[in-house]
Structure 1
Amino acid sequence: MLEFNETEGIVRKTIFIEVILPLAISKTYTYRVPLEMTADIAIGKRVVVQFGRSRIYTAIICLISETPPALYEAKYIIDVLDAEPIVNEFQLKLWQWMSDYYICHLGEVMQAALPSALKLASETRIVLNSSEDIDKTLLSDKEFLIVDALELHPELSVSDISKLLGQKTVFPLLRGLFEKNVIIISEEITEKFKPRKKAFIVLNPQYNETENRKALFEVLERAPKQLEVLLAYFKLEKQQTEIAKSDLIEVSGSSAAILKALLDKEIFIQEDKVISRLSFGELEELHDFQLNDAQVIALQETQEQLDEKGVVLLYGETSSGKTQIYIRLIEQMLLQEKQTLYLLPEIALTTQVIERLKEHFGGQIGVYHSKFNDNERAEVWQKVLKGEYKMVLGARSSIFLPFMNLGLVIVDEEHESSYKQYDPAPRYHARDTAIYLAHLHKAQIVLGSATPSLESFYNAKIKKYGLVTLKGRFGGVKSPLIEVVSIAEETKRKTMQSHFTSVLLNEIKAALSRKEQVILFQNRRGYTPVLLCTTCGYTPKCVNCDVSLTFHKSSAKLHCHYCGYKQDIVSACPACGSTRIEQKGFGTEKIEDELQRIFEDARIARMDLDSTRTRNSFQVLLNDFEEGKIDILVGTQMVAKGLDFGNVTTIGIISADSMLNYPDFRAFERSYQMLAQVSGRAGRRAKQGKVIIQAYDTTHRIISQVIRNDYEEMFDTEILERRNFHYPPLYRLIQIDVKHKDLSKLVIIASSLAKILRSQFGDRVLGPEAPMISRIRNYYIQTILLKVEREGVSVQKIKEVLQQILINFDGLPANKGVYMHIDVDPY
């Protein structure tokens, strides 16, 4: 298509672009490019477009052509935002693969991938960045007006600012203000993760000369207390390279005020340095460490198998020194000028790894996760794009970063369920997506775990992945002793005290008497999971979900853990009027409460979702535990991930049966992983730890396998079950959740869909069935499960047929009001 440019007096070709919009729509849309913007167009750049009557969005160019759309007249784009593309070809290929593999829309992948600052829309909320001093002299007239308006109104939408300036698009202006750190995106205001800092004292360099030091003593002759601090400094200087402020105050026996006087006189200088929150034995010397014999062999095998297969599972028990092997592999990538992505399941719990790797690799490291605000994430994005960061540490979202020269991907603790995104779409698994990302870049990938997922271990067994085993704990630390105690036996003998066996209580007492720390694990939060009327059997339930309410003593209310609904505790049964309301079951809150009654002098804290919601609460809790201010830490599965303290010698698992009896095909696998990981928290230094597992079924094979540390036996028994009943890793699962507010309509619609699916896929289709929680947020749920064998059938073709069936089904008038969620590889 040709168009005449009056200004230049020449005929030019009209350019059309296909763009990805950050919306759950099934297609890309074509827009027309004004002649004056033609030279600015490139794949991967952002453009401002109008979609619908009045909505304005930031879209990504994914295709450039000269062909107009056949079915509609293309609108003109409003603006081009970028001088250089912000999304590269590898990312666009990854997005398309995720859309196809996880059966979701390309716009949903874009929405998940880009930081909010890079995808502004009409209703995006803007606020001033209060942490920055704004120099208004550097602002243009229009930027000044925006800042002025934001000072009067704490929060404005993009459309509000558009009306204020009287122009259709304000995205370039907002981009400029964002780059100057003047504004931030309100929906992304999250408390920045603040690393722990410690004050260190150094002598002013001007006093390094002997003569100057003599003069210094003369100056302080009339201030004897200040002189004592100076003498204490010289004493400590001979013993240690760095002198902490707290150490200097303690050794000198003075006060902070006396030290401040020396700082004010500029005799001393205070330096605040970032220090680690956790203490990993295998990471104590990363600047100059030597691999032991087992590590050298493991590293060599890993390198050989990476060259041969590209993907290697590094299977090494907790504290065996896997991280040091990762460091050697990263060093090789740096020598080759290639980038490394290091994935971690829980950034907040693995601060030590981040800080120590930063020490080792310096400014070449970037960190990317949801604890950072949007300005910081956008900055990391740009630095990765420009190649300034040679290594990125991050949670699952860091797979979306614009790597240009990726050479190595490390997925640490690859078995962790937190690598799986559940809601919203795309419901991807970061480990599997990382493998495809590495394939795109022709990069190598290492999966590390002490308790690998059955999928990864199976792939290693069938030689699809390489397998390297690292036995023995680093530094010769002994594995903890594990003792199983029967709750049933102790209940019969009446030696149980509350929810604690006599064996566990004796071990806690012994640990406390030795000034050692204890961790207790209970995989349920709250105080009491169920309230029950013993007269008529009534249980308070959520008004929005089919789930009983959990009593939380801290708020004195009943909580729903699915939708957040709360109500006051009932003192009389609303069904029969009886006051005989009993509490059934127990969560971390009740464990903490009852422990305090038994050990009145012990300092007890709780680590779960409820206790770590508030600002900096998680960091404060870890600091207090590390510094010995807490004797007993009670927690949910959070305590199994990354916690590593030298003084923890006793671990108690309150109720192993609650995990083992969960109705899920992964229950045994996850129970083994959880019990083994929790046990691994004990005795990670010179002292051998002890683990007490309380259970009714003390002979359960999973408990026996944990005691023997026999992962391979667990794998063999589980894989046989999975083969017999058609579950992963031998079969692929696709779960379809059908949701509707009317239960009777839902049953008819879900049955109709299952019938259509069976006509195509036969007995691979199971359901529909109501899941364990059959109503959430007033939507009833029916689940259909599709089991697809891995051999002899094209899973991709099945997905294409399934997607078309669902599109056709969703478009039927009779199915109005229904929602369908597709989850490929539900974990």
Structure 2
Amino acid sequence: MLEFADNHHTDRLTLFAEVILPLAIAKNYTYRVPYEMNDAVAVGKRVMVQFGKSKLYTAIVAGIGTEAPQKYEAKYLLEVLDDRPVVTQQQLEFWKWLADYYLCNVGEVMAAALPAALKLASETKIMLNPDGNIDRSLLHDKEFLIVDALDIQPILSVSDIVKLLGQKIVMPVLKSMFDKNIIHISEEVSERYKPRKRSYIKLNSLYNEPDMRRELFAELERRAPKQADAVLAYLKLSREQPLVSKNDLMEASGASAAIIKALSDKEVFYIEERNVSRLYYEEFDLAANFELSEAQQNALTDIQNHFKEKEVVLLHGVTSSGKTEIYIRLVEEALHAGKQVLYLLPEIALTTHVIERLRKYFGNDIGVYHSRFNDNERVEVWQKVLNHEYKVVLGARSAVFLPFDNLGLVVVDEEHETSYKQFDPAPRYNARDAAIYLAGRYQAKVLLGSATPSFESYFNARTGKFGLAEITERFGGVSLPEIEVVSITEETKKKTMQSHFSSVLMNDIQTALTNKEQVILFQNRRGYAPVLVCRVCAFTPKCINCDVSLTYHKSSAHLHCHYCGYKEESLSVCPACGSTHLEYKGFGTEKIEDELQVLLPDARIARMDLDTTRARNAYQNLLNDLEEKRIDILVGTQMVAKGLDFADVTVIGIINADSLLKYPDYRANERSFQMLAQVSGRAGRRGKQGKVVIQTYNPQHRVIGQVISNDYKELYLSEIDERKNFKYPPFYRIIQMDIKHKDAEKLHYQAEYLAVELRKHFGDRVIGPEYPLVSRIRNFYIKSIMLKFEKDNISIVKVKSVIRDVILQFQTTQLSKGCIIQPDVDPY
């Protein structure tokens, strides 16, 4: 990185700026600063540069110096975009660590870290803000031209606007229009997060006067008695609760929406729209001065004591043990000390009730940051963190990139979740591990929370690297759910299976429905049938782009590929032998839903999987329906295991546990326990003991026994020796390298060459190359090389330096043509 120059520049001093471009290039580029920009340029500010022949990019200044680059002639910066830095020095150092640790480039980290509106480039798409009311009389000439052009063609690229205005420097104009909310960035148009709104009623303060109220009643009873009933019902409800919702009022008074509207038109009532949580939490809501239970208080004390010596503490508490209240107490402590807090959640959309709970305590001090917000909102959160307006930030994994400068506490809820790991594109980082490093830079404390911790975190806690606090009982003394294991084999022999449902599960479902309770059924595969097979010649239709069989979806009557999105019409005749004897094998959530409709025609059944939650707000609408008891049975994939908290869900059915247990992965038992325990934890969370039915062909399986006894420690102890013997985490580090090419033969030679080169340095620590489970995706053939390194007596920094050198040397050979190499550090 270039040396920093003195900020007090002489007018004619020639400065050079080293910048980070949002591209996968190995080195930062250096540009010459025009004299007139000497005082404007600064580290952390955005600048507009030309890279290549004609492409324009927003770059971040990483260093300023007076030495010109030796190998090439520096081009001039085109524009400085900011009055003050938008990226801090701490962030730049964090980006560099991420790039080094996860074997990628700083430009790739920048591309992931910055909201789209802060990194406009030539091909970025611009459109008018559909929600904005534009007063064209206030636009200057260039803005008017752009708005006019967008009226004719709704989407323009930055390159189009360069041509339209006849000038290269258009970013200041676009930035100004973005700040005024005139334009939108295309990346965020397809899906915009919309909070659920609820209407609340307020009585006009005029009628607080007794005389006015008597006059109102006399008038309404004479002309509109139903309106009088609605006002009376409002007065009664308002004495019992601070806010009266429109729905509550209609239910209590029997009034229709038209009656409420009539009272609103007369200005008797005012109707106010408010954002509310989509998840059921009100009954369990916390009073501002809530008391911790004895178990919670003991855990909090343990955490506080550990924080005196340890930087990271693991809170291991059973499902529904009240971990959130402990987080709130620790957040309060950090805020009293004047520190910022980062609260990470694996899936923001799944845990909106946490947002509402925290907002109750911290009000406008809390910000929310995740990919479902539109770009304007994300930039706003970025700026508010930069300006210290948000003291607490609640976010998904990308929140680790926000510009904190005084971080005191990081909470990682459900720290075991695979959602914290980014798989594509680079950086392939784990937000939990990145957050621990980030906290270390600020001398902040980290609390990891989970009912089923990852083995790595639990190992670190047991070996003394992390502190450990535990809660072994549910909040409020609620019992853990009763778990019953049913043998599918036995029930099939007795002929008591109804389709995919055992007699035990069907009886429990019917009992729950009779009691007006709700049921969640878990099947970790979407679609109707995973495989279509010809009974005569065993032909199975496969994806034309990937090496996977196509899954039949009844709702679309098409065969779908779940890897690349390819689909084709379903077959009625075998294309191989001409037979009409085609049958569907296996079953997914769609088939479960379909068969339940036949078996329980009166039940209201819904499905929650990737197919039903693609549409905007579809996920929130499903949760809303479940909360308001418009759904009796919810069928879903692993989505149903995360964050659902409903009072009346008393039965959980796991249709086939074997699909989890038999997965060919060294983490299969750990993941199966986590999934089964988390799904089971959705049952009986409000005073009623729940019931979980696990259907399996192997009821004696060790992991199922451990789930029944809720014995995480036994699972850990039974697995950890195998991890050590077979050289897996937490004893060894794993780096996986996927090599991809469109030609299978060339891929074979490339992968073998790389493996030989790596073995020269690392010997038998190099395993492969081998084809993964799915060996072709989107027409790219894939081979994987796995490297295992012991954690002691070896420098992982040197290891990664050697891997970079081997990849670089390979890329300089003719053999590398058409090849993509994707290193993945700590693959999960």
TM-score, normalised via structure 1 length: 0.98
Q: Distance in 1 between matches of 2:381 and 2:65?
A: 32
Q: Within 5 Å, which residues of 2 pair with 1:725-736? A: 725-736=726-737
Q: Within 5 Å, which residues of 2 pair with 1:219-238? A: 219-223=219-223, 224-238=225-239
Q: Distance in 1 between matches of 2:761 and 2:260?
A: 79
User: Cα offset for 1:315?
Assistant: 0.6
Structure 2 residue 713 is matched with structure 1 residue 715: no
Q: Distance in 2 between matches of 1:11 and 1:817?
A: 48
Query: 1:453-510: CA deviations, max 9, x gaps?
Result: 0010011111111111112111111100000000011111111111111111111111
Q: How large is the RMSD of aligned CA atoms in angstroms?
A: 1.3
Q: Distance in 1 between matches of 2:347 and 2:308?
A: 29
For the Cα contact (< 8 Å) 1:385–1:403, is it kept in 2?
yes
Q: Distance in 2 between matches of 1:619 and 1:36?
A: 52
User: Cα offset for 1:282?
Assistant: 9.2
Structure 2 residue 393 is matched with structure 1 residue 395: no
User: Cα offset for 1:409?
Assistant: 0.5
Match for residue 784 of structure 1? 785
Q: Distance in 2 between matches of 1:723 and 1:661?
A: 21
Q: Distance in 1 between matches of 2:554 and 2:321?
A: 41
Match for residue 548 of structure 1? 549
Query: 1:1-35: CA deviations, max 9, x gaps?
Result: xxxxxxxx987321111000000000001111011
Match for residue 275 of structure 2? 274
State the one-letter code of the partner of 2:603. Answer: A
Match for residue 241 of structure 2? 240
Q: Distance in 2 between matches of 1:280 and 1:679?
A: 19
For the Cα contact (< 8 Å) 2:192–2:616, is it kept in 1?
no
Q: Distance in 2 between matches of 1:123 and 1:244?
A: 47
For the Cα contact (< 8 Å) 2:204–2:269, is it kept in 1?
yes
For the Cα contact (< 8 Å) 1:480–1:688, is it kept in 2?
yes
SS in 1 for 2:12: strand
Structure 2 residue 54 is matched with structure 1 residue 50: no
Q: Distance in 1 between matches of 2:601 and 2:469?
A: 48
For the Cα contact (< 8 Å) 1:282–1:324, is it kept in 2?
no
User: Cα offset for 1:169?
Assistant: 1.5
Match for residue 609 of structure 1? 610
Q: Distance in 2 between matches of 1:412 and 1:282?
A: 22
For the Cα contact (< 8 Å) 1:732–1:789, is it kept in 2?
yes
SS in 2 for 1:13: coil
Cα gap change, 1:283 to 1:421, in 2 (>3 Å): farther
Match for residue 330 of structure 1? 331
Q: Distance in 2 between matches of 1:582 and 1:104?
A: 46
Cα gap change, 1:306 to 1:218, in 2 (>3 Å): same
Match for residue 6 of structure 1? none
Q: Distance in 1 between matches of 2:499 and 2:622?
A: 26
For the Cα contact (< 8 Å) 1:190–1:371, is it kept in 2?
no
User: Cα offset for 1:190?
Assistant: 3.9
Cα gap change, 1:281 to 1:490, in 2 (>3 Å): farther
Q: Distance in 2 between matches of 1:43 and 1:11?
A: 19
For the Cα contact (< 8 Å) 1:283–1:356, is it kept in 2?
no
Structure 2 residue 84 is matched with structure 1 residue 84: yes
Structure 2 residue 89 is matched with structure 1 residue 75: no
Query: 1:146-179: CA deviations, max 9, x gaps?
Result: 1111111101010111111110110000000000
Match for residue 816 of structure 2? 815
Structure 2 residue 452 is matched with structure 1 residue 451: yes
State the one-letter code of the partner of 2:652. Answer: I
TM-score, normalised via structure 2 length: 0.98
For the Cα contact (< 8 Å) 2:572–2:580, is it kept in 1?
yes
Query: 1:83-135: CA deviations, max 9, x gaps?
Result: 00000011101100000000001100000000010000011110000101012
For the Cα contact (< 8 Å) 1:282–1:323, is it kept in 2?
no
Q: Distance in 1 between matches of 2:596 and 2:334?
A: 50
Q: Distance in 1 between matches of 2:697 and 2:522?
A: 16
Q: Which runs of 5+ in 1 are unaligned?
A: 1-8
Cα gap change, 1:477 to 1:241, in 2 (>3 Å): same
Cα gap change, 1:283 to 1:801, in 2 (>3 Å): farther
Cα gap change, 1:703 to 1:59, in 2 (>3 Å): same
Q: Within 5 Å, which residues of 2 pair with 1:485-524? A: 485-524=486-525
Q: Distance in 2 between matches of 1:10 and 1:748?
A: 57
For the Cα contact (< 8 Å) 1:282–1:320, is it kept in 2?
no
Match for residue 6 of structure 2? none
Q: Distance in 1 between matches of 2:253 and 2:802?
A: 77
Match for residue 767 of structure 2? 766
Q: Distance in 2 between matches of 1:232 and 1:679?
A: 41
Match for residue 626 of structure 1? 627
Structure 2 residue 102 is matched with structure 1 residue 102: yes
State the one-letter code of the partner of 1:72. Answer: Y
Match for residue 38 of structure 1? 38
State the one-letter code of the partner of 1:208. Answer: N
Q: Which runs of 5+ in 2 are unaligned?
A: 1-8
Q: Distance in 2 between matches of 1:238 and 1:744?
A: 77
Match for residue 5 of structure 2? none
Q: Within 5 Å, which residues of 2 pair with 1:358-369? A: 358-369=359-370
Runs of 4+ in 1 over 6 A off after TM superposition: none
State the one-letter code of the partner of 1:92. Answer: L
How many aligned residue pairs are there?
819
State the one-letter code of the partner of 1:154. Answer: P
Query: 1:739-793: CA deviations, max 9, x gaps?
Result: 1111111111111110111111000000000000010111111100000100110
Q: Within 5 Å, which residues of 2 pair with 1:298-447? A: 298-447=299-448
SS in 2 for 1:12: coil
For the Cα contact (< 8 Å) 2:11–2:35, is it kept in 1?
no
SS in 1 for 2:222: coil
Match for residue 112 of structure 2? 112
SS in 2 for 1:151: helix
For the Cα contact (< 8 Å) 1:282–1:319, is it kept in 2?
no
For the Cα contact (< 8 Å) 1:127–1:186, is it kept in 2?
yes
User: Cα offset for 1:229?
Assistant: 1.9
User: Cα offset for 1:235?
Assistant: 2.8
Q: Distance in 2 between matches of 1:137 and 1:307?
A: 61
User: Cα offset for 1:228?
Assistant: 2.1
Q: Distance in 2 between matches of 1:255 and 1:11?
A: 74
